[in-house]
Chains A and B, each alone.
Chain A
Amino acid sequence: MSKKILSGPYIMWMIGFILIPLALIVYYGLTDRSGAFTLANVLSVTSPEHAKALWLSLGLSFISTVLCLILAYPLAMVLRSRGMGQGSFIVFIFILPMWMNFLLRTLAWQTLLEKNGVINGILTALHLPNQNLINTSGAIILGMVYNFLPFMVLPIYNVLMKIDDNVISAARDLGANSVQVLFRILFPLSIPGIVSGITMVFVPALTTFVISNLLGGSKILLIGNVIEQEFTKGSNWNLGSGLSLVLMIFILISMALIAKYDKNGEGTAF
């Protein structure tokens, strides 16, 4: 009984700041301004403007996730092959930028990519033509990959570190060459980490509005920006909530994937 009391503060917190807001979003999402039930807010995702933003978000998040995976897996492999001490030092270096404010890091990219920014400054100094870098899809993908890469590296590194060296030795012993060891042993055994990493990159990338605001300008609208604008500028909370519910469906699908492939929580990042 006394132990249940100890969980009281957390339960209060959860009800006040998680459950009630969530219920409010569901309420707003499924009603119109007068408070009558409607599916219009949710279904408005099919309007050309919103659908375009959603598809663009899905597309850019997908590309960023794939790029993160391509960059992270070999890196995690290298880290694994290092000794324990050396490996964790490199991981530490890797996490270091995460200690800096997320907004600040993205602003730094803005300064680098701007029309009169650092990169174009260098190009001018070298008498090369200036490039249109900022406010492109590429800039947003760069921002996403830069910010979310550690979330891909860590879970993969964690599962790879847990694979017993003898398992790899056994595969070698049974005749497998390095490529066969990679595809038949290491890759299948690291799927929990890969799925975990994919979710941890894909979900925040899908919902971000900060990266697209700072690096995409007003030209490129992601679904996150649309929702943000409905709440801040459009003052249409019902529409914003309705679109949030649609996004939540995609997030729930990702969570279900994690639950399916990562039963033991092996790929948990931290």
Chain B
Amino acid sequence: MGQPLIDLRNITKSFDGTMVLDDLNLSVKENAFVTLLGPSGCGKTTTLRIIGGFESPDKGQVIFDGQDITSLPPNKRQLNTVFQKYALFNHMSISENIAFGLKIKNKPKAYIKDKIKYALRLVNLDGFENRTVSSLSGGQQQRIAIARAIVNEPRVLLLDEPLGALDLKLRQDMQYELIRLKNELGITFIYVTHDQEEALTMSDTIVVMNQGYIQQMGSPENIYNEPENAFVADFIGESNIVPGIMVRDELVEIFHAKFVCVDKGFGIHKPVDVVIRPEDIDLVAPEEGTLTGIVTHLIFKGVHYEMEVTTPDGFEWLVHSTDMFPVGQEVGIHVNPFDIQIMNKPASEDEEAVGINE
């Protein structure tokens, strides 16, 4: 079990002189649900297309189950793809669409018929065999695209922003559908999205990418609670990223106020970046807070209030709270030690540019 199913080694790819992937290494274990997450142009789709065989890397190897498949064309690979805009065959009926891969492989008729029925039941579209593609809604077309891929019993299913074109409610329903499918099929999913909520909901491993580099890889909880750099902190959910100085272990100074935290090993009097999630800030009476500020902005968001609290140094703290404080009121800011996440400052300006300017 220790050997990864897919292993990308030193993948480099550029289009027209623009570097898209730079020396990328990524291992995917059998039966994992891995999500490649990042803004557009970060190289996530290119990575997926290299695994699928639609692009070949300039340098590096794609290893599948111990074998080098770098130069194998897509039709020879044991994986199938679900495309962003479904890419169904409009000139075929639903059952012909699903049967396409099996017919190419010359499977017997009875087998194909069973498979179509099984796949349609799996995606909750029983009895859709003879419908035309154009008579289906976007969500139904996406289910057919999934059915068309899984009848071929791939070991890995690649999904390229499959829910991108659906509306919010349908997207949330499909997220649960995909999790259920993944569990029923017991195969590996590699999923590409720019939607951090989708990634957090579905995956067991998230790979955050930006500008051709992997920024951080880990479980959803790990990525959300312990972002390794400002880019990840900013991209996954909203956050306050403030400059700080690590006074000593477990004590950080922010805007001349000292906060107790749980991080160690950053050194003494070392400049750091501090990440505090808006929902982790407690607004208290001014005398009880570590910092004080004035509420400058208030919006009701439904589940919570979104407020901006400006501290004397001019920083605007984003705060999510179910308690409402009116604009103009002086409040104290309090943060629990384990809600403070300390990150090393970027080593160079270059790295900083990679981090935040997206």
Contacts and interface: CB of A to CB of B under 8 A. Distances in A.
A174 B87 contact: no
Interface string B48-74: 000011100000000000000000011
Interface in B138-178: 145, 148-149, 152
A167 B334 CA distance: 54
Interface of A: 164, 166-167, 169-177, 180, 184-185, 188-189, 191
Given A166-B84, A180-B104, A173 B91 contact: no
A26 B89 CA distance: 46
A174 B100 contact: yes
Contact of A174 (B53, B73, B85, B148): B148
Nearest to B151: A174
A166 B75 contact: no
Contacts of A170: 81, 83, 87-89, 145, 148
Nearest to A174: B101
A171 B99 CA distance: 11
A185 B96 CA distance: 12
A169 B83 contact: yes
A166 B83 CA distance: 7
Given A174-B148, A175-B152, 19 more contacts: A166-B83, A166-B87, A167-B88, A169-B52, A170-B88, A170-B89, A172-B53, A172-B75, A173-B74, A173-B80, A173-B81, A174-B75, A175-B75, A175-B101, A176-B75, A180-B104, A184-B100, A189-B91, A191-B91
Nearest to B98: A174
B54 A169 contact: yes
B75 A185 contact: no
Nearest to A169: B54
Given A167-B87, A169-B87, A171-B89, A176 B81 contact: no
Given A169-B54, A169-B74, A170-B81, A176 B87 contact: no
A184 B88 CA distance: 13
Nearest to B74: A172
Nearest to A170: B87
A172 B100 CA distance: 11
Contacts of A189: 89-91
Contacts of B101: 174-175
28 contacts: A164-B87, A166-B83, A166-B85, A166-B87, A167-B89, A169-B52, A170-B81, A170-B83, A170-B89, A170-B145, A170-B148, A171-B100, A172-B54, A173-B54, A173-B75, A174-B80, A174-B100, A174-B101, A174-B149, A175-B75, A176-B75, A176-B100, A177-B75, A180-B104, A184-B100, A185-B89, A189-B89, A191-B91
A170 B90 CA distance: 12
B337 to A, nearest CB: 49
Interface string B92-122: 0000000011001100000000000000000
A170 B101 CA distance: 10
Given A167-B89, A169-B74, A169-B87, A175 B104 contact: yes
A169 B82 CA distance: 10
B104 A176 contact: yes
Contacts of B87: 164, 166-167, 169-170
Nearest to B76: A175
Contacts of B83: 166, 169-170
B52 A173 contact: yes
